[in-house]
Structure 1
């Protein structure tokens, strides 16, 4: 793998550019190996560092018919000073906003100011919302959840049951013919599916009309996928999903731990030879494994946004934890498919935002600034049912099978739930 360009292209101090380039490079290398296994010479893998970085803020470049497709952040989502520190509340979903208002009142800033940070966060979570408070990195490292996450691998690829080997036939794309069932929301999980689609997978995203969404993120992460709706609160929908899963190679899911398993779609429910990919916020072990979490909340909780006692949180310049976790999940998926092809087995891939934050922190620090150069070289226009969509192309140089999306984003739920 050859990196092109340097990492002084996005504001520091964290090495976001290096993280993006490594994620893209590792996935592209894994795709190259799978392509070689399928009888096509991949050619030398390259990664344009600037292109990788811009893909990590792809939602910022998205335009539909020349317009920004809505706000990514709700008005009340943000950082608030508590009596002894800083908290962040997530209000992008109506039920999360309702939980925050139920705890803090209509004037969220005033409500937070008179309570401790821990009290605010725990009360919001108990009310069904999502929040976190700002910690120093050493505080997170000493926390029971921080210790649990530190003991987890960055990308877990675990064989959980026996099954015959399933070699992939000859093909001219790494994931041609691979069926991916995607049950994800927001960013990390959809980025994983978007990446797999770019390497040739047949990705079917399953959502539901009653579930809230963040529209700009939906549009940005839907390239190359089909999209269907199933209301898993009903028996017929669950039966249909089981039928889809029976014929799938991979299921990617990013809902809270145990929520899909409670509906009959956990690791023990996989058909032999399937690959389950699970993305989680706070880790797959420890007391917070079922806690609601989003990239911006994890940046506070893990100390990524910490700049000293009393200082306001400073976020990363991009949603790097989400994007990196999505690419790492795609890496684990390709690795599991390779191992299934050569040694058989049923596999479980696990990635978390919290462990991704620890990895980013381990890369060290830089003093860099945003590049002033235009990004036009990485942009394309694509027609879609939503309009003409400007987007960042998928990064990663693979001469034998350049990654690409076969179509633009579609209207959510507009496809049939079928392969």
Structure 2
């Protein structure tokens, strides 16, 4: 298979290796500090393995059968003046879209109704009704949108005080961008290192997108803060006995679908004790759960109830990291926002993943990877590059997976800074970062073979679970001297 990883004019393989390396670099530094090493160990990430990890849900098999499918009504629809994508994988989102369109939940009826509506008008109408949809924009149309300015004004990995305050760019958004002579991305047997073009792209990202603001606090890195984190409840782990970078670190994962669960999966791969906190009232997708929740425990809590909130706060008191991907402000409305949790656990690391970021006119808008690709111009550019008459998305949920790896990187950096920080990553921000990597000639990028399950057999693991025998993509890359990967199958809900 070509070292570019996946077929696209976007530099998906290079970007995937950069994002994975960003997290590995932070994990390596944490590992070195807690083990008293004089320097961080070498990080190695192959382009091919990173790219395949970015589409792990496509390769998941349960007893040999694929476990994830898009819902019948999810997809791209031709509107009166362009294209709109509806995301209907959850029943209530399908119901909202059809109610706005005034039609039953039948594909032909939805197609006919969408053709009578304008793309932007329908996008807003469904969003205002509590559903999820996105009009396909050109890159120029996205740049002209006020939400683009809001996204572009924030670092891709943004940090600030847990109780509120200024925002600065995490080092996690800068590391891992080099090529053969750069930091973080190396070659492994059978896979080329990220090329020099990626080094230039990442350097531009560091200069243009990820810089800290004036007054950025000095990092509180050192054996003292890391040792306190793990030493209080895991004697000896900060003094040379830890082979898993994050063993002893406790994570609460309040996320669903791909981006947030992937962040939790990454942290579990570094050895963290990750507990999913799942509402018994909210829907989920079984195939994604089986792929993305490997190595985690499961706890059901209704955070809208007094008992559920109190139980959650008890968990927070013993946690180091909270991951959440609810809409911006949703948990704060329940008294469980970052400032609320700071009162309970001042040195907590709080990580939020959203579609479009916390600010701007779309700051509270729901969204998923496939919708953000439409909104920010990725699907339209893919369509033009391929000479297609329909939107052409990326060959993976790159924004979701990238957000997960970068959120995990930010979480570890925040731990190294001593905690007490809020970390924010948005899918649209990840899209801006991918954009900065530049493009491949379509004759080159689109000629890459689309890897089948048999093509990636060397990157797969097989093992038993409560659901059956799982075939899944292994943890990519390595940190010298550290043990990476997942302990145990996903929990059985």
**Into which bin does the TM-score normalised by the smaller protein fall?**
over 0.9
* Secondary structure class of the residue paired with 1:102: helix
* Secondary structure class of the residue paired with 1:306: helix
The whole-number CA distance in structure 2 between the counterparts of 1:258 and 1:10 is 36
Q: Match for 2:125 among 123, 126, 129?
A: 123
Cα distance per residue 1:29-81 (max 9 Å; x no partner): 1111100001165642111211111100000110111111242x100001111
Provide the residue aligned with 2:20 in structure 1.
Answer: 24
Provide the residue aligned with 1:35 in structure 2.
Answer: 31
- Say which is worse superposed, 88-97 or 262-271, in terms of deviation: 262-271
* Secondary structure class of the residue paired with 2:434: helix
* Secondary structure class of the residue paired with 1:305: helix
The whole-number CA distance in structure 1 between the counterparts of 2:277 and 2:351 is 15
The Cα shift of 1:411 comes to 1.1
Cα distance per residue 1:353-392 (max 9 Å; x no partner): 0000011011001132136582111111121222211111
The Cα shift of 1:167 comes to 4.8
The whole-number CA distance in structure 1 between the counterparts of 2:336 and 2:85 is 32
The Cα shift of 1:157 comes to 2.2
- Asked if 1 retains the 8 angstrom alpha-carbon contact of 2:17 and 2:46, the reply is yes
* Structure that is richer in strand per residue: 1
Provide the residue aligned with 1:391 in structure 2.
Answer: 472
- Which stretches of structure 1, 4 residues or longer, exceed 4 Å deviation after superposition? 161-165, 308-311
Q: Match for 2:405 among 309, 327, 339?
A: 327
**Does 1:363 find its partner at 2:437?**
yes
Pair 1:7–1:284, CA change in 2 (3 A): farther
Provide the residue aligned with 2:46 in structure 1.
Answer: 48
Provide the residue aligned with 1:67 in structure 2.
Answer: 65
Provide the residue aligned with 2:233 in structure 1.
Answer: none
Provide the residue aligned with 2:213 in structure 1.
Answer: none
* Secondary structure class of the residue paired with 1:350: strand
- Say which is worse superposed, 165-174 or 265-274, in terms of deviation: 165-174
**Does 1:407 find its partner at 2:488?**
yes
Provide the residue aligned with 1:349 in structure 2.
Answer: 423
* Secondary structure class of the residue paired with 2:378: coil
Q: Match for 2:463 among 382, 386, 411?
A: 382
- Asked if 2 retains the 8 angstrom alpha-carbon contact of 1:8 and 1:370, the reply is no
**Does 1:214 find its partner at 2:293?**
no
The whole-number CA distance in structure 2 between the counterparts of 1:144 and 1:202 is 40
* Secondary structure class of the residue paired with 2:65: coil
Cα distance per residue 1:383-413 (max 9 Å; x no partner): 122221111111011131131101011112x
- Asked if 2 retains the 8 angstrom alpha-carbon contact of 1:321 and 1:357, the reply is yes
Provide the residue aligned with 1:417 in structure 2.
Answer: none
- Asked if 1 retains the 8 angstrom alpha-carbon contact of 2:32 and 2:41, the reply is no
- Asked if 2 retains the 8 angstrom alpha-carbon contact of 1:382 and 1:407, the reply is no
Provide the residue aligned with 2:350 in structure 1.
Answer: 276
The whole-number CA distance in structure 2 between the counterparts of 1:87 and 1:237 is 38
- Aligned length in residues: 403
The whole-number CA distance in structure 2 between the counterparts of 1:303 and 1:148 is 16
The whole-number CA distance in structure 2 between the counterparts of 1:273 and 1:59 is 34
Map of 1:2-401 to 2, 5 A cutoff? 7-39=3-35, 41=37, 43-71=41-69, 73-104=70-101, 105-106=103-104, 107-160=109-162, 165=225, 166-168=228-230, 169-170=238-239, 171-270=242-341, 271-307=345-381, 311-340=389-418, 345-366=419-440, 367-368=444-445, 369-370=448-449, 374-401=455-482
- Stretches of structure 2 that go unaligned for 5 or more consecutive residues are 165-219, 231-237
- Say which is worse superposed, 137-146 or 37-46, in terms of deviation: 37-46
The whole-number CA distance in structure 1 between the counterparts of 2:229 and 2:73 is 50
- Stretches of structure 1 that go unaligned for 5 or more consecutive residues are 413-419
- Asked if 1 retains the 8 angstrom alpha-carbon contact of 2:16 and 2:50, the reply is yes
TM-score, normalization by structure 2: 0.79
The whole-number CA distance in structure 1 between the counterparts of 2:417 and 2:68 is 41
* Secondary structure class of the residue paired with 1:12: coil
- Asked if 2 retains the 8 angstrom alpha-carbon contact of 1:40 and 1:172, the reply is no
The whole-number CA distance in structure 2 between the counterparts of 1:130 and 1:371 is 29
- Asked if 2 retains the 8 angstrom alpha-carbon contact of 1:386 and 1:410, the reply is no
